[in-house]
Chains A and B, each alone.
Chain A
Amino acid sequence: AQKVTQAQTEISVVEKEDVTLDCVYETRDTTYYLFWYKQPPSGELVFLIRRNSFDEQNEISGRYSWNFQKSTSSFNFTITASQVVDSAVYFCALSVRDNYGQNFVFGPGTRLSVLP
C-alpha cells in the first residue's frame, strides 16, 4: 500500500525566513510520481511540481526548491525568503500504477503561516 507522511502539521515563520516542508513516502513500486500541491486560503488546489521516480535531480523554481532522495524516501520542499503570500496548506502526493491503472495518495498537508 502507498502512504505519504507530512509530519509537520503547522509551521509558522516570519517573512523572509527560509522554510522546509518535509514529505516521506512509502511504496513498493519502482515507478511512481511525486507531487506538491498548494492550497491557499481561497481553497483551490494548485499544482507546483511533479517528479518521477527515475529523476532524482533537485529542482529550483524561483524561491521554490525540491530535494528528492530515494534513499530516504523523501521529497522535501523548501521556500527561500518566504513571503506572506506563501501562507497556505501544502500537500505532498504520491501516484503509482496499481492493478487498475493509477492510484493517487495525498499526505495530510502542512499548514504554513508566514507572518509579516
Chain B
Amino acid sequence: DAGVIQSPRHEVTEMGQEVTLRCKPISGHDYLFWYRQTMMRGLELLIYFNNNVPIDDSGMPEDRFSAKMPNASFSTLKIQPSEPRDSAVYFCASKSTSGSSYNEQFFGPGTRLTVL
C-alpha cells in the first residue's frame, strides 16, 4: 500500500483565498483524522471520521474550516477565507479497527500551508 497520501505537499496562498487540502487514506481503514501542527499549539486534532461520517469536529477552530469525506478513499479540509494564523502543517491520518495494527494511526507526509 502507498500509505496515506496528501496533496499538495506545500501550499502558499494569500490571505482571503480558499485553500483545499486533500487526503487519500490507506485502503480498508475506517477512521480518518485531520490534525494541525504549529509551534505554539503542537499537534491538534481538528476532526475525525468513522466510515465517512464526521464523528467529532470539536477541534475545528472556526466556521472558516470545513471537512468532508464523500467516500472511503478521499477527504478534504477546506479553509475559506484563509488567514495568516492558519499557517501550519496539516496532517491526515487513517487507522483500522481490525487486524494486527489495530488502533495505530498512520500519518500522511503533511501539507505545509503558508498564508501570506
Residues of A within 8 A of B (CB): 33, 35, 37, 43-45, 47, 50, 91, 95, 100-109
Question: Once the chains bind, are B104 and A47 in contact (CB under 8 Å)?
Answer: yes
CB atoms of A47 and B33 under 8 A apart? no
Main secondary structure of the interface of A (DSSP, over half): strand
A104 to B33, alpha carbons, bound, how many Å? 10
Instruction: Give chain B's interface residues, CB within 8 Å of chain A.
Output: 31, 33, 42-43, 45, 48, 50, 55-56, 89, 91, 93, 97, 103-107, 109-110, 112
Q: How far is the CA of A46 from the CA of B43 in the complex (A)?
A: 14
Q: Which residues of chain A come closer than 8 Å to B91, judged between CB atoms? A: 45
**B42 and A50: CB pair below 8 A?**
no
Chain A residues near B107 (CB, 8 Å)?
Answer: 37, 44-45, 47
CB-CB nearest 8 A-B residue pairs:
A45-B107, A106-B43, A100-B55, A108-B42, A33-B103, A44-B109, A50-B104, A101-B50
> How far apart sit A38 and B107, CA to CA, in the bound complex (Å)?
11
Known: A43-B109, A43-B110, A44-B110. A50 touches B103 (CB 8 A): yes
**B48 to A43, Cβ gap below 8 A?**
no
